[in-house]
Amino acid sequence: MPDADDALVVFTPSGRRGHFPVGTPVLEAARALGVDIDSVCGGRGLCGRCQVDLCEGRFSKHGVESWLDHLTAKSDTEQAWETRRGPLCDGRRLSCSTRLLGDAVIDVPVSSQVHRQIVRKRAEALDIELDPIVRLYYVEVQAPDLHAPASDLRRLKDALAHEWQLSELENDIRVVQQLQAALRQGGWGVTVAVYDDRRIIGVWPGFQEQVYGIAVDVGSTTIAAHLCNLQTGAVVASSGRMNPQIRYGEDLMSRVSYIMMNPGGELTMTRSVRDALNALIVEMATEADVRVDAILEATFVGNPIMQSLVFGINPVELGGAPFALATDEAIDGLWATELDLVIHPNARVYGLPCIAGHVGADTAGMILSETPYLGEELMLLVDVGTNAEIVLGNRHRLLACSSPTGPAFEGAQISGGQRAAAGAIERVRINPLTLEPRYKVIGGELWSDEPGFDEGVAPYGVTGICGSGIIEVIAEMYLAGIINQDGVVQGSLAERSERVVADGRTFSYILHRDDNRTLAITQNDIRAVQLAKAALYAGIRLLMEQFGTQHVECIRLAGAFGAHIDVKYAMILGLIPDCDLEHVNSAGNAAGTGARIALLSRRARREIEEVVRRVQKVETATEPRFQEHFVAAMAIPHRHDLFPHLSAHVTLPSVMEQSGGGSSAGRRRGRGRGRRA
């Protein structure tokens, strides 16, 4: 039976309850019941993370009457915190400084929960359980005593064990090197960073409120990074830049060739990518007004060659069969200084595991982000880049492969191609009767046939065509009959339109012409896109064949390219197989999101390390059926595969009509059923 002087406290939303002596701090009661309340300062009223709300009223469900006078009045500590930080919300209290005087129902808001859910704002929001591997703890350490000799480190560990129940902690020598100065500067009060609840990795004098981490996706073309607050999960800055290794070759194999032909080339490439990473770190830290020594954790994803070079591993074995990885395990616990990073010297670095020779940690990040392994739905994940990564499966089975698409989708190898920047054509529509185009450019809101377009693009002009524009213009050329199923420009249309012009022994289509430049889609441009899309589709088909299916239920397009293309046009061109268009959408930078999830959640790290062991790798380079699938996929959208879902939105040209070549190619049956901008 509870004592008469006990108070019953019920915590929501957890529902945990218990009796405690009157005068017990709310935070102490919460800890005793295992309630999830955040705190860094150890109940000293410094951090303000332990805020709670008193629920007033009669709660028959809990058998409790909860009133304002059942808690102590606002304390001096709370008032001092409000003086420093601003007033608390109405009814909100610091649980460390508030004591029980009677029965109470206490709500722990999401912002005060340690393992709160961080919602990623995108089409299908997923929850990240916030449980970073690095956490801060404030402690006050006993001053040294001549009559009770114990080292500063020993007294620090004793304080952590007493106040935070962190026992048997290990430490780095670098902590010992910093410790005595920090203790004395802080008046024996210090903030300690503990890694994985078992190792001290940092110490600061006084109260250190925030600690940060970076999540990085090292792509062969671009590097994207996020700076995150490890206490809240918030992304406080993001940045990206070109991978400087591109000067050694645009594709991965050319970079491996450079290393093979230039002894020490791997050291040069490693140095260049680390320099770029440090520039990104400084840029993000400056933007967010964060000290670089407050960054205590970093996670990395990348394809196997990029991942190898970041971590100083020579990737030459990945340049030829059997494409042997140096390691397929996660890279864990490195010091930041081992990668020459300019963050806290004792910060830890984690690299997600690679899956196989050409399926890397970026694919693991994509899998972690999209979680196909948790559902029954057969999901196809495609990360379109210079080298496409493809994953197919569900909770029963996962298959993965890579496919050498080349840089055509990113504007390279295209006569008027460029990367996505202001002035690049990104949307295209072609009138099937007149063959006249209209288009939109990045940085402008108007279509080219709308009043004010020229004035709108005057600051930068029309400079080229980016990946999404390339996809749309070739798909539109097919729908308008300018090219046939084999991708051949129909030269006879030159009699109907000045847009179709002779170009040596072939023909081109003029998309844009002004006083400064002419942007034409040449036969070679079309062929480059066909080769890229055929390699991608063949890889997908190979996985579907080995999975034993003719259909997929959901398609997620990852990467910057996947985020900007119109999925309908991707399907018209034949980049992806037929699927309900409502179930085809962008996953954004899923690899980078996976890196961010791993940064913020220990459980997620262990989860993806287990999942990748179950992924079955399919090697496209040695599969005899790949070439057969590739040849069939050169046709637009495909030589044999049908597209019934797509046909519900667009009337595809008749192959028989086009096979006659010449003028018949321009006379098509009716257009699609609307749905065209």
Output the pLDDT for position 661: 41
Statement to judge: residues 380 and 445 lie in one domain: no
The candidate with the shortest Cα–Cα distance to 525, out of 602, 473, 565, is 473
Mean local confidence (pLDDT), 361-368 = 95
Task: Report if residue 677 sits inside a domain.
Answer: no
Output the pLDDT for position 117: 43
Statement to judge: residues 603 and 496 lie in one domain: no
Whether the per-residue pLDDT at 406 is higher than 60: the answer is yes
Whether the per-residue pLDDT at 270 is higher than 70: the answer is yes
DSSP-assigned beta bridge partners for residue 192: 137, 203
Statement to judge: residues 219 and 345 lie in one domain: yes
Whether the per-residue pLDDT at 480 is higher than 50: the answer is yes
| CATH number, position 232 | 3.30.420.480
Highest-confidence segment of 21-35, 392-406, 500-514: 500-514
3-state secondary structure of 25: strand
Statement to judge: residues 568 and 421 lie in one domain: no
Output the pLDDT for position 205: 94
Q: What is the pLDDT of residues 298-307, one digit of tens each?
A: 999 999 999 9
Statement to judge: residues 435 and 393 lie in one domain: no
The candidate with the shortest Cα–Cα distance to 190, out of 171, 200, 204, is 204
Choice among 50-64, 74-88, 207-221, 294-308 with the minimum mean pLDDT:
50-64
Whether the per-residue pLDDT at 555 is higher than 90: the answer is yes
Q: Which domain holds residue 69?
A: 6-112
Task: Report if residue 364 sits inside a domain.
Answer: no
Q: What is the pLDDT of residues 369-382, one digit of tens each?
A: 999 999 999 999 99
Mean local confidence (pLDDT), 76-89 = 86
The label of the residue with tokens 């004591």 reads 99
Whether the per-residue pLDDT at 429 is higher than 70: the answer is yes
Q: CB–CB of 402/318 below 8 Å? A: no
Q: What is the pLDDT of residues 316-356, one digit of tens each?
A: 998 887 888 899 999 998 999 999 999 999 999 999 999 98
Q: Which residue has the higher pLDDT, 16 or 352?
A: 352
Statement to judge: residues 219 and 341 lie in one domain: yes
Instruction: Say how far apart CA 503 and CA 482 lie, in whole Å.
Output: 15
Q: What is the pLDDT of residues 526-546, one digit of tens each?
A: 999 999 999 999 999 999 999
Mean local confidence (pLDDT), 611-637 = 92
Among 464, 483, 517, give the residue marking a domain's end.
Answer: 517
Whether the per-residue pLDDT at 640 is higher than 50: the answer is yes
Whether the per-residue pLDDT at 674 is higher than 60: the answer is no
Q: What percent of the chain has pLDDT over 90?
A: 59
Whether the per-residue pLDDT at 437 is higher than 50: the answer is yes
Q: Which residue has the higher pLDDT, 115 or 438?
A: 438
Structure tokens at 287: 């933007």
Q: What is the pLDDT of residues 491-510, one digit of tens each?
A: 999 999 999 999 999 999 99
Task: Report if residue 570 sits inside a domain.
Answer: yes
Task: Report if residue 490 sits inside a domain.
Answer: yes
The candidate with the shortest Cα–Cα distance to 400, out of 352, 354, 363, 351, is 363
Statement to judge: residues 250 and 334 lie in one domain: yes
Task: Report if residue 672 sits inside a domain.
Answer: no
Statement to judge: residues 219 and 337 lie in one domain: yes
Q: What is the pLDDT of residues 201-253, one digit of tens each?
A: 999 999 888 899 999 999 887 899 999 999 888 899 998 888 888 777 767 88
Statement to judge: residues 216 and 344 lie in one domain: yes
Q: Average pLDDT of the chain?
A: 87
Query: Would you list the DSSP string of 26-93?
Result: HHHHHHHHT-----SSSSSSSS-TTEEEEE-EEETTTTEEE-GGGBPPPPHHHHHHHHHH-PPPTTEE
| Tally of domains within the chain | 5
- What does the DSSP 8-state code read for residue 224? E
Output the pLDDT for position 250: 65
Statement to judge: residues 235 and 341 lie in one domain: yes
Instruction: Say how far apart CA 139 and CA 485 lie, in whole Å.
Output: 71
Statement to judge: residues 316 and 456 lie in one domain: no
Q: Which residue has the higher pLDDT, 377 or 16?
A: 377
| CATH number, position 75 | 3.10.20.30
Task: Report if residue 65 sits inside a domain.
Answer: yes
Instruction: Say how far apart CA 284 and CA 487 lie, in whole Å.
Output: 45
Task: Report if residue 481 sits inside a domain.
Answer: yes
CA distances from 8 to 50, 98, 117, 244 (A): 20, 15, 28, 62
Whether the per-residue pLDDT at 676 is higher than 50: the answer is no
Number of H helices, E strands in the chain: 18, 31
- Going by pLDDT thresholds of 50, 70 and 90, the confidence category of residue 472 is very high
Instruction: Say how far apart CA 313 and CA 338 lie, in whole Å.
Output: 12
Q: Which helix (H) or strand (E) holds 659?
A: helix 655-659
The label of the residue with tokens 């048997």 reads 168
Task: Report if residue 379 sits inside a domain.
Answer: yes
Would you mind telling me the total number of residues written for the chain in this entry? 677
Q: What is the pLDDT of residues 98-125, one digit of tens each?
A: 999 999 988 888 777 765 544 333 323 3
| CATH number, position 649 | 3.30.420
Instruction: Say how far apart CA 603 and CA 101 lie, in whole Å.
Output: 38
Instruction: Say how far apart CA 450 and CA 441 lie, in whole Å.
Output: 13
Statement to judge: residues 172 and 276 lie in one domain: no
